Amino acid sequence: MSGNKPLILDTPDKIQAFALLQIYYKLKLEVNHPNGPKWGYSPARQANAVMDQAGVLRKHSRLKKKVFEQYGAYLRDLGVLKD
């Protein structure tokens, strides 16, 4: 958010981008803090499912760090995540 402008999610694209970012930051938290919070459905599985559904060609990995890197690259390609 810039300045005092509120974040308004008023289009389907913005809502989807927000959901994708939620998965990204949950996965980032798991990668950086392995003894941190646990979720019923792993963010790594969610990220893999999103990339599989989108038809992203990638190296399949179950390692959270690798999935995090691939998912981050995918979101950058979409323009959802900025460097």
| Phi, psi dihedral angles at 41 (to 5 degrees) | -115, 110
* CA–CA gap between residue 83 and residue 79 (Å, rounded): 10
pTM here is: 0.73
**Mean pLDDT per segment of 10 residues, for the chain of length 83 residues?**
70 89 91 78 87 82 86 92 82
> How many Cβ atoms sit within 10 Å of the Cβ of residue 19?
14
Residue 3 domain flag:
no
Domain housing 42: 12-78
Q: Where are the alpha helices (DSSP H) in 1-83?
A: 12-32, 43-54, 64-78
What pLDDT does 20 receive? 92
* CA–CA gap between residue 59 and residue 57 (Å, rounded): 7
Residue 83 domain flag:
no
Residue 63 domain flag:
yes
